[in-house]
Amino acid sequence: GAGVSQTPSNKVTEKGKYVELRCDPISGHTALYWYRQSLGQGPEFLIYFQGTGAADDSGLPNDRFFAVRPEGSVSTLKIQRTERGDSAVYLCASSLGPGGGETQYFGPGTRLLVL
């Protein structure tokens, strides 16, 4: 079946602009996660959704970052007033449920470059 998809694949924007990154999870997966991967580093957790609600947003770096999942499927990560330090690959993952043993399946990521 279809895996996790993310759009756009690449995004170039100017400092101060607003961007939206989209994630389509695997159908039927109730849990959705966003991670950020800086160059040469491992992914770092941003936010976790169970259904429509953000169960854990402790990884969001500041209030310029916001994410929604209004219907419990597609999620959008929104970044306001982008800064050069926001440049990274943004990865989305989904899992069947929230249990610790559930495998998280990752999308190909969106590479964001802020000029």
Partner 1 sequence: AQTVTQSQPEMSVQEAETVTLSCTYDTSENNYYLFWYKQPPSRQMILVIRQEAYKQQNATENRFSVNFQKAAKSFSLKISDSQLGDTAMYFCAFRAAWGGIQGAQKLVFGQGTRLTINP
Contacts of residue 42, defined as CB under 8 A and 6 or more positions apart, other chains included, come to: none
Q: What region does 63 belong to: left with phi over 0, alpha with psi -120 to 50, or beta?
A: alpha
The nearest distance, CB 46 to partner 1, in angstroms, is 9
Residues numbered 68 to 107 that lie near partner 1 (CB under 8 A) are 89, 91, 93, 98-101, 103-107
67 near 79, Cβ under 8 Å?
no
Q: Which is nearer to partner 1, 48 or 65 (CB)?
A: 48
Give the range of 15-23, 39-47, 62-70, 78-86 binding partner 1 by CB under 8 A: 39-47
Gap between the Cα atoms of 115 and 106, Å rounded: 27
The nearest distance, CB 93 to partner 1, in angstroms, is 8
Binding-site member from 30, 68, 96, 108 for partner 1 (CB under 8 A): 108
Q: Which is nearer to partner 1, 42 or 70 (CB)?
A: 42
Long-range pairs, 56-59, Cβ under 8 A, ≥24: none
State the DSSP code for 26. P
Contact footprint for partner 1 (CB under 8 A): 31, 33, 35, 40-45, 48, 50, 55-56, 58-59, 89, 91, 93, 98-101, 103-109, 111
